[in-house]
Structure 1
Amino acid sequence: MFVLVGYASEHGATRQIAERVASLLLYEGVRAEARPMAEVGDADRYDAFVLGSAVRRRRWLREGTRFVRRNRAVLAGRPVWLFSVGTARVRGGRLDTRGGARGGARGKAPRAPGCASGPRGGVRVRDHRFFPGVVMPGQLSPAGRLLRWAGHGRYGDFRNWPEIDDWAAGIARSLPRGPRPPAGRRR
């Protein structure tokens, strides 16, 4: 079993989550690699996919969208998990409890192109998680900083690493495993 942990990252937070997921899969004996989706040429060489993207305006970044659309036929026949990373769950420096662990604003995860929990999207997704990300002043436009200030928003790293680790461990449990790598390579 060879798993692609593909990502589309804007400022690095999504890349770091993907690398953490791949590292945990490796530790659990699942062969995996984290790579930018824009650099993946042959998706057919992977047996399963964990795909994640930063979210802008409740949508995945373009490179994530392109990867899913370009590889829909391959993804349709293999296990697929999705994760989205954004700030919709962050309000004033705390998680927005309206969305819960799986939701974003208004309780809905951002839409991933060509994917659905039913047959409409062509790709059956085993799970789609929405993780809070990192919000720093340099990542926002002047208007974005003003809106954040007006809404009493705080800056910081809001990623919940235990939540991410638990999710990745669940993926690892559902996949066939190979031999376990030497100790000390988990993170």
Structure 2
Amino acid sequence: MKVLVAYATAAGSTVGVATRIAAVLRTHGHVVATYSVDEITDAAGYDVYVVGSAVHDQAWLPSGAAFLSRERRTLRGKPVWLFSVGLPGALRGPLRKWAGLEEPAILAHLRDDVTPVEHRLFSGVVRAEMLGKVGSLVFRAVGGRFGDFRDWQAIEQWAGAIAAALADIETTAR
């Protein structure tokens, strides 16, 4: 199948996730194009879409959300998987409870434009300079940690599950 993996990234963490998803789908025999949502002028011509964005303030980046809105007619009736890259792995202490609220908040903003087969929230990279001096101090004070929290095994397993679903779709279409 012809798959578009599109992403909106703020500091590069999401492009890493998108690239890994695309690589796994290729190993399962799919033709995969990987682009930033800012590079895509027309998303037509694909059988399947995997779209992701970095998350800021419990919402996708404006460019990611705008892509879904702009391409909603193209995406309608097609299998669409969504992924978000946020903070869950960086949170501990009282903030850990907040992480469970992030995914429903993210999806609430996106469901007007697309009904995904599935959405997955992954942890990304969190650096002090991303939050600014004050934000960094507050983040640490409430139990946040800095580092690369991407779980490559979980990302690859999810991409493998997408590939298995696509195999089922291909079988049904025959």
TM-score of the superposition, structure 1-length normalised? 0.81
Give yes or no for contact 1:5–1:34 (8 Å, CA) kept in 2.
Answer: yes
Bigger mean CA offset, 147-156 vs 5-14:
147-156
Choose which of 103, 108, 113 in structure 2 pairs with 1:108: 103
SS in 2 for 1:45: coil
Choose which of 135, 157, 160 in structure 2 pairs with 1:169: 160
Match of 2:151 in 1: 160
Deviations 1:5-26 (A, max 9, x none): 1000001010000000001100
SS in 2 for 1:81: strand
1:132 maps to amino acid: S
Give yes or no for contact 2:2–2:48 (8 Å, CA) kept in 1.
Answer: yes
Cα distance in 2 for residues equivalent to 1:2 and 1:63: 23
TM-aligned CA distance change 1:164 to 1:38, over 3 Å? same
Matching of residue 137 in structure 1 with residue 159 in structure 2: no
Give yes or no for contact 1:6–1:52 (8 Å, CA) kept in 2.
Answer: yes
Match of 1:68 in 2: 68
TM-aligned CA distance change 1:113 to 1:151, over 3 Å? closer
SS in 1 for 2:49: strand
1:32 maps to amino acid: V
**RMSD over aligned Cα, in angstroms?**
2.2
Deviation at 1:77, TM superposition (A): 1.6
Cα distance in 1 for residues equivalent to 2:92 and 2:77: 41
Matching of residue 17 in structure 1 with residue 11 in structure 2: no
Deviations 1:116-167 (A, max 9, x none): 3xxxx35221000000111111211112111122123221111111111100
2:66 maps to amino acid: R
2:38 maps to amino acid: A
Give yes or no for contact 1:60–1:112 (8 Å, CA) kept in 2.
Answer: no
Report how many aligned residue pairs link the two structures: 167
2:23 maps to amino acid: S
Cα distance in 2 for residues equivalent to 1:122 and 1:18: 21
Match of 2:2 in 1: 2
Deviation at 1:4, TM superposition (A): 0.7
Deviations 1:16-48 (A, max 9, x none): 000000011001111112110111111111111
Cα distance in 1 for residues equivalent to 2:153 and 2:104: 20
TM-aligned CA distance change 1:92 to 1:66, over 3 Å? same
1:77 maps to amino acid: G
Cα distance in 2 for residues equivalent to 1:29 and 1:39: 24
Give yes or no for contact 2:90–2:146 (8 Å, CA) kept in 1.
Answer: no
TM-aligned CA distance change 1:14 to 1:33, over 3 Å? same
Cα distance in 2 for residues equivalent to 1:54 and 1:13: 8
Q: Which structure 1 residue ranges, 4+ long, deviate > 6 Å from structure 2?
A: none
SS in 1 for 2:35: strand
Point out where structure 1 has 5 or more consecutive residues left out of the alignment: 178-187
Match of 1:185 in 2: none
